[in-house]
Structure 1
Amino acid sequence: MTDTEVRLRTAHTAELTPAELTAIRSLLDDAFAGHPDGAFTDADWDHSLGGVHVTAWEGDALVGHACVVQRRLLHGGRALRTGYVEAVAVRSDRRRRGHGGALMSVAERYIRGAYELGALGAAEEAAEFYAGRGWLCWQGPSSAFTPDGIVPTPDVDGWIYVFPLDHTPLDPTAPLTCDWRDGDVW
């Protein structure tokens, strides 16, 4: 496919057609196949549903996706309404053309407008990309609020990034706890 104009579309999960959902899942499966952190799982897919999807299209071809779902992160004695970014991917033959930045610009606009904080769990190869956009690597210890109480998640320390907003005071060296979900909690 030659370079054509890229069209961004935003839609809540409920507004996506079955064909669009199938295209998104296929893109994510392909993008994460052979990934060092593992393939894109059914739990990962479940984590990306119920929020706002940003899709990038070249004609009828889906070339990129990101979504923002609501979560609660505990920090400084508060449960922060958080726009959590999930399922960010660009088709392998369309990378390094600005699509990821375009997708994230829209996701960040949603975070600024509706949440107290933005957060995501970064893959190693994407950390520099997020840092370059103003996302901060969380320096404090992470944990998850599980059915068994608060459980440390040291395996993700250094890979959690937050998108701070002026109206939410943060201490990035303090503990940060995510709400519970099946699969990877972060």
Structure 2
Amino acid sequence: MTELRVAHTSQLDPAELAAARALLYDVFDDMSEDDWEHALGGMHALVSDGDTVIGHGSVIQRRLLHGGRALRTGYVEAVAVRPDRQRQGIGSLLMRALEDVIARAYDLGALGATDEGAAFYRSRGWRPWRGPTSVITPTGLVPTPDEDGSIYILPGPVPLDLTGHLTCDWRNGDAW
């Protein structure tokens, strides 16, 4: 029987964190320690079947700049479902929990979608950002054209121009 648990990083025991990390490294060939670090410090949604974690996603707080405002953003990270359990509604269960966190705590949601995941996010109401993207680095503003078209937004109460400029805060590893 599958069970969903939503908890802050601080509420997960080391075994739960290790199981989530192992799942991500199993699912993604290019998973890095920076990617794992990006998934920490916020709310996690874990789906387990007995003692086995079969799905994970997290939402962390980031600041995105748009239209002259710094927007409190629930940024979705590390969404994965064990390959033999995909297409069984587990990803939808994870995202429903994360979207609820976003709706209750943030101005908007955002994520970087893979080509494989983009249709799934669009089907849930996430909208592609059509404008240029950039990152604020320690040396200044740097365009991120390789990310253009792969950033998705879950609109909230703040008006957005999806063709405008969107800038993320700096972090190690992938900016988006």
Same fold (TM over 0.5): yes
Give, in whole Å, the separation in 1 of the partners of 2:139 and 2:108.
Answer: 26
* Paired residues for 1:60-139 under 5 Å: 60-139=51-130
Identity rate, percent: 59
Pairing partner for 1:18 from 10, 14, 19: 14
The equivalent of 1:32 in structure 2 is 28
Q: Which portions of structure 1, spanning 4 or more consecutive aligned residues, are displaced by more than 2 angstroms?
A: none
Q: How many residues align?
A: 176
SS in 1 for 2:48: strand
Q: Does structure 1 residue 155 correspond to structure 2 residue 151?
A: no
Q: What are structure 1's unaligned runs of at least 5 residues?
A: 34-38
| TM-score normalized by the length of structure 1 | 0.94
1:111-163 residue CA offsets vs partner (Å, 9 max, x unmatched): 00000010000011000000000000000000001111110000010000000
User: How large is the Cα RMSD of the aligned pairs?
Assistant: 0.5
CA-CA distance at 1:61 after TM superposition: 0.8
Q: What are structure 2's unaligned runs of at least 5 residues?
A: none
